[in-house]
Amino acid sequence: MAKPTLLVLAAGMASRYGSLKQIDGVGPNNEAIIDYSIYDAIRAGFGKVVFVIRHQFEDTFRKVFYKEKFGNKIEVEFVFQELDKIPEGFQIPADRVKPWGTNHAVLMALGTVNEPFAVINADDFYGRDAYATIGKYLSQLDNSQNDYCMVGYCLKNTLSDYGTVSRGECHVDADGNLESMVERLNIARGEDGIVTYQDESGSHPIDEDTTVSMTMFGFTPDYFKHSEKLFSEFLAQPEIQTNMKAEFFIPLVVNTLINNGTAKMKVLNSSAQWFGVTYKEDKPAVMAKIRALIDAGEYPEKLWE
């Protein structure tokens, strides 16, 4: 069985958080959420971790994670997401300042990742069982193509008390395969207890028990080929040249491949607990949850001893 790779999306500027939250310590010995992710991935059988970062963060990431922590525990590589990394024949809109979103970030690993791989956000804590579950699925794929997976979470367990969040709303068939996924923005629980999301047409209620994506996906390497083609089609749309916030999201690509019959995506169930630090105010609760997991024996006091 092939050892899968973990692709960590860590190029975000953390504008809502106020600092480079990917390296912010939440553990008792200044461990970041990434540390726990890599620790869980190693014991789940992953063989390599690839970070998608910005060039301006490279020295910090190499020092803090590779040299000081887990560089001798697992193979580590870095790839870079920048605004100008687009296919030949396309121009960057004059007023565009940010890269092109999560699936653009995934594309940066083309040529570096050649085995089944999982994709995660750097600032999300997915839990030990989630890595074990997706790692087992990916390790059994070998030379399979177009056979993808994701770990689903319940929406009500992924909200922040301090602001809005974005989630992929998932529709799952009777066999546990994803039918469609819609990126919902500005999700929050109101004072009346109702959870809503907002789009260009206004505010809309959403069932708090909805299965959502927390960007924990599993893909086979053919996904890069599909993404290349679809990214070119995305950039060729006239409205993309005028919409400075348009993003090439993973759900956009996944939906396209499912709808045209190219691929299928199994929604995996996990007993793991998700939590994250979208806002600075989330950090104390995250630290308390990690402390509880350490006290329960889930993690050692010092992660990298």
Between CA 199 and CA 179 the distance in angstroms is 22
User: pLDDT tens digits, residue range 54-106?
Assistant: 998 888 888 888 777 887 899 999 999 999 999 999 998 888 888 999 999 99
Q: How confident is the model at residue 21 (pLDDT cuts 50, 70, 90)?
A: low
Residue 162 clears pLDDT 60, i.e. is over it? yes
Separation CA 215–CA 152 (nearest Å)? 9
Helix axes 250-259, 222-235, angle to 10 degrees: 100
Say which range, 28-42, 109-123, 261-275, has the weakest mean pLDDT.
261-275
Q: Does the pTM exceed 0.75?
A: yes
| Backbone dihedral angles phi then psi of residue 172, each to the nearest 5 degrees | -120, 135
What would the pLDDT profile of 190-235 be if each residue is shown by its tens digit? 999 999 999 999 999 999 999 999 999 999 999 999 999 999 999 9
**Look-up of token digits 């590589």:** 77
Structural domains of the chain, ranges and CATH numbers in brackets: 5-152+212-295 (3.90.550.10)
On average, the pLDDT of the chain sits at: 91
Indicate the length of the chain as a whole number.
Answer: 305
What is the distance between the alpha carbons of residues 46 and 30, in angstroms, rounded to a whole number?
24
